[in-house]
Amino acid sequence: MSPQAALALTEDRRRSTGESHQALCALLGETDRPLRIPSARRPDQAQLETDVFLACCKIGGLSEHPLGIVQVRPGEDQLSLRLVNEPYVIDHWADFLLPRLSLPDDDAFASPQDRITGVPGLRHRRERGGICLYRPGLPASILLTGFAPHWWDRIVDRRNDHDLLQSSNPDWAPVERAAYAAAVASPSDPPAIYSALLRRIRATAGPGPINSTDAWQAVGGGVRLETTDGPPCLDLIRLLGDSSTGLGWEVDEKRCTCLCDHTHSGAGCTIDFREPETGWFVYYSNTRWGRTLDDRRRRSIAEMNRAAFR
């Protein structure tokens, strides 16, 4: 196989995950087909990726890397995420992921999921030069790399208050088990969609210096996916819609302004994707904020890095 042919076969996966061509060459073998991104094989792995993704979506725009994720290494039984090597990014991840008790146990009107902020049952340990996220008793895991592991330890130690569930219970707390069971049983949560998006998070990155990606349940069913400064629509359609390398999502409706040669005030792009096997809709919008990395934002990043270890 020629070098040019091999590059073409890894192109879409590289664009979606941030992996290097050199790392992917070993997976090509003798095939002449584009390299696919594997799905999570087990339901508990897809559920963990879903819960982490939905929690971290609330972080907002940290850098040019959506959710602060520089690279994804997707395996059937584990997911590895390389994060931006900045303390404030690690601080944000810990803040949004670590499970805390948010409502008292005697609140009879609260649902189990409302009693917890963060990811119910999530625990962490050092592993292979990174931080492994897992749930006790389940084989699912996500490995966080790209930063000094002791950063995570310092940041978590600073948060060891009585509401942080791991600090008082290395196993599942009863309220966490109830929240997890409710999430698994809920028919409105499609883990296969959220897990697939996390494994392709780089596909949602635009060319600008600040990228933010968010996802949530749409009113009336389906999934809402939003970027503030996303990629050209044709790129996203190819990366998510191509059945040979992507998810095979079909475009049901599209309103695109990203190919215009002038600026539209408040204009954005919308695409309604349909997942053909389940019929689920993913309603995508790119709001096109056009943010820049100015001096004010640089000063803010420097202050957040200092505050991460206070």
Q: Could you report the per-residue pLDDT of 4-45, keeping only the tens digit for each? A: 888 889 999 999 999 999 889 888 876 678 889 999 999 999
Distance of CA 250 to the CA centre of its chain: 22
Quick check: 40 and 49 in contact, CB under 8 A? yes
Binned at pLDDT 50, 70 and 90, residue 163 comes out as: low
- The mean-pLDDT minimum among 34-38, 141-145, 158-162 falls in 158-162
Q: Is the model's pLDDT at 273 over the cut of 70?
A: yes
Quick check: 72 and 201 in contact, CB under 8 A? yes
All structural domains of the chain with their residue ranges:
1-35, 37-187, 193-286
Helices (H), the chain: 3-17, 21-28, 43-56, 87-97, 149-157, 165-168, 174-185, 191-198, 233-241, 295-307
Q: Is the model's pLDDT at 187 over the cut of 80?
A: no
